[in-house]
Copies of this chain bind each other. A is one copy, B any other.
C-alpha cells in the first residue's frame, strides 16, 4: 500500500486549520530570464518557516486520541523538528526532539518556543537513531519520521495540490529533493493532474539522481552542500514513488544555488533557504526544458542564519 491522491486530499482537509495557504509569487524579470512563466509557491511564508509544517501537522492530527496521548518524537536538526514541535503544541500533546549537539542555537530556541523537550546527542546518525530509540522506549512516544512515512508524504503533497489549484494549466513543477517527502507527495499530485514533475538536487548531494539513474536506491553517500535541507538520504517509500512518477532529477552546482538564491532575494524581495533556491537554479540551467511553459516551483523554506549568508561583496562602488 502506498500513498495516493486521496491521502493527499485527506491531508489537505485535515491540516487546513493549522497551516497557511501560502501565496504564489511571480517576477517579470525572472520570467524574462527563464523565457517561461514561473510561479513560486512561497512555503518560506509557511508556519514555522517551511513546508515541513504540512507533513508534521498531518502526522500529528491523523493520530487517534489514544495514540496522541503518548506524545510524539523525532530526530532533526532542522525544520522537521520545529514543525513537529509546533504540531504537537497545537494538539496539546508532548513532543521530544532529538537534536545533534552541534545544531544551531536558533533552531533549538525555536523548538523550545513551541514547548517541546529537546534531547541532545552526538551529531552522528548512529547516535541520533540510538538516542531516538531510547527516548521512544522511555516515554512511549510515537516516532514521526521526517520523510519516509505515508502521512508525511501525503502532508507535503498538499503544497503541490494548492499550487495546482492556484495556477490554472500548470505544465511543469520543480521541487527540491532531499529525503524525498515533498517530491514524492508532489509527484502523486502531478501524476493525477497531468503535470510534469522534476526533482532539483545539488550535484554535491546527488543520491536521488544516482538512485533514479541506477534504479537502486543509493544509501552510501557523503553529501556536502550549502543546501542544508537536502543533506538527507532518499527514503525507501519516497524512492518507490519517485522512480514511478518523477520525470527527471535535475542537478545544479553550488554556485548556481547561491546565484539563484541571490536572484530570489534581490528580485522577489523574499528570504528563502539555499534548499529552496535549487528550484530556480534548475529552471535556469535547464532552460530549454521549460521554455515557453507555465512552470511551478516550490520555495520550500526561509529559515536562514543572517549572520552566515553566502553572498560575497563582489560589488565595489564602480
Contact = CB atoms under 8 A, between A and B. Distances in A.
6 contacts: A45-B269, A265-B271, A306-B309, A307-B311, A307-B314, A308-B313
Interface of A: 23, 44-45, 49, 102-106, 108, 262, 265-266, 268-272, 302, 304-309, 311-318
A94 B175 CA distance: 43
Given A44-B269, A269-B49, A271-B270, A104 B307 contact: no
Contacts of A306: 262, 265-266, 309, 311
Copies in the complex: 2
Nearest to A301: B269
B313 A311 contact: no
B105 A318 contact: yes
Leading 3 A-B pairs by shortest Cβ distance: A307-B313, A105-B318, A269-B302
A246 B103 CA distance: 47
Contacts of A309: 306, 309, 311
A318 B271 contact: no
Contacts of A103: 317-318
A44 to B, nearest CB: 5
A307 B313 CA distance: 4
A318 B123 CA distance: 13
A50 to B, nearest CB: 10
A105 B317 CA distance: 6
A98 to B, nearest CB: 16
A317 B102 contact: yes
B270 A269 contact: yes
A250 to B, nearest CB: 25
A33 to B, nearest CB: 12
Among A103, A314, A318, which residue has the most Cβ atoms of chain B within 10 A? A318
Among A49, A104, A106, A269, which residue has the most Cβ atoms of chain B within 10 A? A269
A307 B317 contact: no
A126 to B, nearest CB: 20
Contacts of A108: 318
Nearest to A43: B269
Nearest to A313: B307
Nearest to A113: B29
A120 to B, nearest CB: 10
A103 B272 CA distance: 28
Contacts of A315: 104-106, 305, 307-308
Contacts of A106: 315
A287 B304 CA distance: 28
A49 B106 CA distance: 30
B302 A307 contact: no
A313 B308 CA distance: 6
Contacts of A266: 271, 304, 306
Given A315-B305, A317-B103, A318-B104, A269 B269 contact: no
A308 B314 CA distance: 9
Contacts of A44: 269
A111 to B, nearest CB: 13
